[in-house]
Amino acid sequence: MKIALAQLDYHIGNFEGNLAKMLDAIRTARSQDADIICFGELATCGYPPRDFLEFDDFIHLADASIEKLADAARGIAVVVGSPSHNPRIEGKDLFNSAYFLSEGKVAHVQHKALLPTYDIFDEYRYFEPATEFNVVEYKGKRIALSICEDLWNLGNENPLYTICPLDEMQDQQPDFILNISASPFAHDHADERIHVLKANAERYKIPLFYVNHVGAQTEIIFDGGSMVVAPNGTILDELPYFEECIRFYDLDEVFRGGREILQPKDKMALIHDALVCGLKDYFGKLGFKKAILGLSGGIDSAIVAVLAAEALGEDNVRVLLMPSPFSSDHSVLDARQLAENLGCQYDIIPIEKAYQTYMELLESHFLGQPFNLAEENIQARIRGNLLMAFSNKFGHILLNTTNKSEMAVGYGTLYGDLCGGLSVIGDVYKTEVYELARYLNRHKEIIPENIITKPPSAELRPNQKDSDSLPEYDELDPILYQYIEKHQSPQDLIDMGFDEKLVRRVLRLVNINEFKRYQTAPVLRVTSKAFGMGRRMPIVGKYLA
């Protein structure tokens, strides 16, 4: 038996486009004499469809895709994910299902049992969990169909769940497992995923075929990495990250096993590829073409400019250099050099006149008040207005350049430098930004060395440095990581050896600035806990404030 894994980039709600991709893959698989082709979880409609699932028409369109795929499943079986109707009176209206299509009809449907409701997942909001588990027989083989999370309660040891779907199928003696998934990317998730798949194959002592999505759905990025696992737990193949592809496997050869084949997992390479993928799909799936951003001469905007040029092409990226009275000459020179290195269009628009006009308008109202955050933020908001003017006039999408460290502690100006349609590096800590800059310069100097080595500064007052307002980033970031990603309490952090005064100061900054994060652009997710839909905090919470 020959099995094809189709690792594809789906588009939420684009039934016609998703169907066309799958039909083309079926034709390719049939031409290679494949017996079965497998697509991803909820492939007909894209993942996650969220409240689109509440529209009857949306479900009808998914059903229509299943009918057309079934019609194409002649001489080849098709395994595909799609929502399905719950015929019972009780429970949710829908199941998250894996369809087995053969000879023009639906031969079998297996529903998902383990419905994640944590981080970015909210499946129990929409779906009823499966209570029945049956293998499907095809060409003399018994196949255990499963969907994503159903593999993640091995031996019923996950405290989130009370059932292990594959355990329930073992009495039916399946010959192999097909798992269709939509498993999002985080730079440290691949090893955990590999461990779970290997453990499943070893437990049941049968081959496991796992197919994942690739591509981005706004902030959620899918890395692919589909896998074939031998009965002894050896990973016989791991498909490329961030690439669509179809590969074919002989079942008898998988039973025999072989040498392990894994993709490289360099952290900065993965983050880089994920961000480029996120940018490409955000623009491509929304029908946008051109981006704009403010280029300050600092490292954050430099990183975003390089990523945007790589994702969209330098001709589709425009940058504005907007020096204020407090901008250093070298910042303007550094920004210009970077723009020239990239070959993208740049404009220099000094904001001193606009800033002085604001100062004159406010002079009588601010009389006797010292220069403070108000004057600093006016500069940021002038820049934001100019960027949005270009965006509106020329149809460019504004990219936000704030990093995760700044976003965490509120070191950004609402309606100023926090503007934008997409936050590109909002899930990358400042210390990681420097690592990413070195990665981008690995072959040649794209980002001028001075941008990387100079002390970070917003340049909104004379001789300003980030360290005037914040701890040094190598002190700040470890605290943020432990609090945001690892959910450590103040006492936990103090017990780890962090200074108590610093811990309480940092955590207070994180919590009192939640209101800013509610008003900022969606953040491309590259960690297990990005700001946005996967981290739901109250704005007015008292905890640690």
At 477-495, the pLDDT tens digits run 999 999 999 999 999 999 9
Terminal-to-terminal C-alpha distance of the chain? 61
Q: How far is CA 373 from CA 2, 376, 407, 469, 499, in A?
A: 65, 5, 17, 11, 27
Contact 60, 39 (CB under 8 A): no
Distance of CA 288 to the CA centre of its chain: 19
Of residues 494 and 325, the one with the higher pLDDT is 494
Q: For a pLDDT cut of 90, what percent of the chain falls above it?
A: 91
| Mean pLDDT across 363-377 | 93
Confidence of residue 518 (pLDDT cuts 50, 70, 90): very high
Phi-psi region at 103: left, alpha or beta (left = phi > 0; alpha = psi -120 to 50): left
| Mean pLDDT across 7-35 | 98
Quick one: which of 457, 135, 130 has its CA closest to 299?
457
Of residues 367 and 463, the one with the higher pLDDT is 367
In this predicted structure, what is the pLDDT of residue 462? 82
At 68-81, the pLDDT tens digits run 999 999 999 999 99
Provide Rg for the chain, Cα atoms. 26
Looking at the chain, the domain(s) classified CATH 3.40.50.620 span 287-466
Confidence of residue 409 (pLDDT cuts 50, 70, 90): very high
The per-residue DSSP string of 85-151 comes to E--SSSS-SEEEEEEEEETTEEEEEEE------STT--GGGTBPPP-----EEETTEEEEEEEGGGG
Question: Reading across the β-sheet that carries 36-38, which strands appear in turn?
Answer: 105-111, 94-102, 77-85, 36-38, 2-7, 245-250
Confidence of residue 465 (pLDDT cuts 50, 70, 90): confident
pLDDT at 130 over 60: yes
pLDDT at 459 over 90: no
Q: What angle do CA 349, 354, 357 make, to 5 degrees?
A: 165
| Mean pLDDT across 457-468 | 78
The rounded distance, in Å, linking the Cα atoms of 113 and 440 is: 43
| Mean pLDDT across 441-457 | 94
Burial 145-162 (b: 16+ CB within 10 A, else e): bbbbbbbbbbeeeeeebe
The rounded distance, in Å, linking the Cα atoms of 378 and 364 is: 16
Q: What angle do CA 433, 435, 436 make, to 5 degrees?
A: 65
| Mean pLDDT across 89-106 | 96
Of residues 251 and 154, the one with the higher pLDDT is 251
Confidence of residue 523 (pLDDT cuts 50, 70, 90): very high
Mean pLDDT of the chain: 95
In this predicted structure, what is the pLDDT of residue 272? 98
In this predicted structure, what is the pLDDT of residue 68? 98
The rounded distance, in Å, linking the Cα atoms of 307 and 316 is: 12
pTM: 0.96
| Mean pLDDT across 168-172 | 96
pLDDT at 360 over 90: yes
Active site residues: 41, 112, 148
411 Cβ contact partners less than 8 Å away, ≥ 6 residues apart: 405, 458, 466, 469, 470
Residue 142 has phi, psi (to 5 degrees) of -100, 125
Q: Homologous superfamily of 2-265 in CATH?
A: Carbon-nitrogen hydrolase (3.60.110.10)
pLDDT at 186 over 60: yes
CATH placement of domain 287-466? 3.40.50.620
In this predicted structure, what is the pLDDT of residue 461? 76
Q: For a pLDDT cut of 70, what percent of the chain falls above it?
A: 100
Specify the range with the lowest mean pLDDT, choosing from 347-361, 458-472, 496-510.
458-472
At 145-155, the pLDDT tens digits run 999 999 999 88
| Mean pLDDT across 501-519 | 95
| Mean pLDDT across 229-233 | 98
pLDDT at 438 over 90: yes
Confidence of residue 544 (pLDDT cuts 50, 70, 90): low
Looking at the chain, the domain(s) classified CATH 3.60.110.10 span 2-265
